[in-house]
Amino acid sequence: MNIKELLKFAFAYCGIVIGAGFATGQEIMQFFTNNGMASFISIIFSVLIMTFIFRQIAKVGYLYDVESHELPLNKLFGNVFGRILDYLLIFFMFVTSFIMLAGGGSNLNESFGMPTWVGTIVLIVLVSITLMLDFDKIINLLGIATPILLIMVTIMSIYAFSTADMTLSEGATYADSTVPPWNNWWIDAIVYAGLMFGVGFSFITIMGSDTRLYEVVKRGSLLGGFFVLILLLLVNGSLLLNMDSAVTKDVPALVVANAVHPTFGSIYSIVIIVLIYNTVVALMYAVLVRFTRFRSKQYVILLVVLMIVSFFLTRIGFVTLINIFYPLYGYLGIIIAIGYFVLWVRKKVQRSPYYDNTNSEE
């Protein structure tokens, strides 16, 4: 087992997932923290589902050696329904990309006073440059922020728990039960997991295909899931302890970071930007290679068009976009997850390889 390859896979996996479902704290607030004390069990339940399904997604990518998500969808759902899901997934990946760009602009505005539109343009330029790099370099960049985030979130959580003016249960009294999509901890957990499947499905499929060792794919998925679990639990607890002030913010995670020290908060703001950048890169790459050959003329033209359109769509507003699109994206991800679960059950029941080109065991 190559430890370097394992960590590279796990860090990139984690970086993609937490960019859309974690980075600003707004996502955790809406799906988990506003469920009060039940948010902790909701997170555990959600991450267990995520880890299991993402492991299957990465394995299928490796075993079929795919270049995009199109083949797995057609294998799972047939050509007609698979094509419908394909185009829906592309639409929501693009929507999530400009939601993340809007979140990056909001973060730079709250942290450094930079006009939101300027922050959005900065991110668009960085993402565009990255999408012209080699795929292996893109994977390396996606994993950079994860170990830094683990350290910073641990520091934030230790500080929050040691200096809190209220207990977790007291913080839970500030929770707004009307905010979570379903106002039911286990349904919200499933919808959040579905959102992560939608966000990560295409790129993690490609990551699985690009990985040399099957063991790295299997164990890297588990390790990445463990990182996601730890980060979600720590940030959720920190938000509950600062719920009186965090609940009104577009980027509530910054409330916790700034409480440690303003300089620490500024550094965390940069980390959030990197996480948002991670997700936009992953989603845009998946959309681009679905229709064009990597770094071809058509690839560059489509990249420019998508970035220009994204800039104008970010003017709608970050929180508004999350409220509208994230639950819908979650439902699409749930459909994909059900397909992978049925695939896994079928393989177990038949006790024979379902996949076309391998006899590897689970």
User: Which residue type occupies 349?
Assistant: V
> Which pLDDT score is estimated for 360?
43
Residue pLDDT tens, the chain, 362 long: 688 899 999 998 888 877 655 767 888 888 899 889 999 999 999 999 999 999 999 999 998 888 888 889 988 898 999 999 999 999 888 888 887 888 778 778 877 888 888 888 989 999 999 999 888 888 888 888 888 888 999 999 999 999 988 899 999 988 877 766 677 899 999 988 998 888 889 989 999 998 888 999 999 999 999 999 999 999 999 999 999 888 777 778 888 899 999 999 889 888 888 888 888 898 899 899 889 988 899 999 999 999 999 888 877 765 666 667 777 888 899 999 999 999 888 887 776 554 544 444 44
Q: If residue 132 lies in a helix (H) or strand (E), which one and from where to where?
A: none
Task: State the Cα–Cα distance between residues 265 and 276, nearest whole angstrom.
Answer: 16
Question: According to the 3-state scheme, what is the secondary structure of the chain?
Answer: CCHHHHHHHHHHHHHHHHHHHCCCCHHHHHHCHHHHHHHHHHHHHHHHHHHHHHHHHHHHHHHHCCCCCHHHHHHHHCHHHHHHHHHHHHHHHHHHHHHHHHHHHHHHHHHHCCCHHHHHHHHHHHHHHHCCCCHHHHHHHHHCHHHHHHHHHHHHHHHHHHHCCCCHHHHHCCCCCCCCCCCCHHHHHHHHHHHHHHHHHHHHHHHHHHCCCHHHHHHHHHHHHHHHHHHHHHHHHHHHHCHHHHCCCCCCHHHHHHHHCHHHHHHHHHHHHHHHHHHHHHHHHHHHHHHCCCCCHHHHHHHHHHHHHHHHHHHHCHHHHHHHHHHHHHHHHHHHHHHHHHHHHHHHHHCCCCCCCCCCCC
Task: State the Cα–Cα distance between residues 87 and 286, nearest whole angstrom.
Answer: 12
Global pTM?
0.84
> Which pLDDT score is estimated for 358?
44
